[in-house]
Amino acid sequence: MKIGFIGLGNMGGPMAANLAKAGHEVTGFDMADVSIDGVTMAASAEETATGRDVVITMLPNGQILRAVADQVIPVMQRGAVLLDCSTVDVESARAVATQGQTADLLALDAPVSGGVGGAQGGTLTFMVGGDEAGFNIAKELFDIMGQKAVHCGPSGNGQAAKICNNMILGATMIVTCEAFALADKLGLDRQAMFDVVSTSSGYSWSMNAYCPAPGIGPQSPADNGYQPGFAADLMLKDLRLAQQAAEAADADTPLGQAARDLYAQFVEDEDGAGRDFSAMLPRFEARGHS
């Protein structure tokens, strides 16, 4: 396929490189001066999107996505796929999809899970909202860039799935860190705690696969000084998107709101900025009962 790829940062760059390595003709554009193996760089977003079968975007937020959509949709050929892999608010995703559909494009919102390592290794999970015909065309590309793609329904539902998943993840990581800090103060060995919880009803991905306690369980960012695999800043972004969606949908999400507030405090008022989201553990270790 002829693919345009806009947004070649830590996630988009490796994703574009994997598509090029698989034999697709990839043209790319980024506001920064970047070079990606196998990708022909264009001078503008419009040039990147012209004459392409699929245009992929990986952008920081909904405002930038809307601005880029205004640039590229008018120059895209009818029947092409507009595939947005950014994590943005549901409202922006649906607005851009409607704009694309009006121009006879197949619009998909397909945020990802798996982080930079997943982007580099081609093991991302895609949560996809939008046109089924577009999903079927993009499936070949999802198989290159990731290990799983789930069609979640109409436009915006990919974003909905992503923020619901990460609301669970944010809350479970917090309570996992709280439990380790409590175990410490009760004199319970961390390894013993892990051995019990990881095989009992308290098990979770945060405990079993991404344990926030250094030296316990599989290798995780905790074993690397909490250098981010998934930054606390990005968790805060997703929790804010979840609360924005909850307010718009009149959904009661008190634990999601509490998780957002704790990560906001951690990132903005404490030392969480630039650290992994599991660095909540040393935060709780240093604190007493409040």
| Catalytic member of 21, 139, 148, 162 | 162
Average pLDDT over residues 103-110: 97
Mind listing the pLDDT tens digit for each residue in 209-250? 999 999 999 999 999 999 998 999 999 999 999 999 999 999
Straight-line distance from the first to the last Cα atom of the chain, in angstroms, rounded to the nearest whole number: 57
Residue 203: pLDDT above 90?
yes
Mind listing the pLDDT tens digit for each residue in 5-60? 999 999 999 999 999 999 999 999 999 999 999 999 999 999 999 999 999 999 99
**Helix 62-72 crosses helix 90-102 at what angle (to 10 degrees)?**
10
Provide the pLDDT for residue 29.
97
2 is catalytic: no
Reading the block at residue 245, the tokens are 């969606």
Provide the pLDDT for residue 117.
87
Q: Which amino acid is at 15?
A: M
Which domains can be identified in the chain, with CATH numbers? Answer: 2-154 (3.40.50.720), 160-286 (1.10.1040.10)
Provide the pLDDT for residue 115.
86
Reading the block at residue 278, the tokens are 């599991």
Average pLDDT over residues 137-161: 97
Average pLDDT over residues 251-277: 98
Reading the block at residue 39, the tokens are 């990708």
User: What is the sign of the dihedral through the CA atoms of 284, 288, 289 and 290?
Assistant: negative
pTM comes to: 0.91
Alpha helices in the chain (DSSP H): 12-21, 45-49, 62-72, 90-102, 115-121, 132-145, 157-186, 190-197, 205-208, 232-249, 254-268, 280-285
Q: Cα separation of 11 and 15, whole Å?
A: 6
Provide the pLDDT for residue 258.
98
Residue 116: pLDDT above 90?
no
Reading the block at residue 177, the tokens are 């860190």
Q: Cα separation of 17 and 1, whole Å?
A: 14
Provide the pLDDT for residue 238.
96
Average pLDDT over residues 108-120: 93
Residue 290: pLDDT above 80?
no
Q: Which residues contact 130 (CB under 8 A, 6 or more apart)?
A: 97, 106, 107, 108, 109, 110, 154, 155, 158
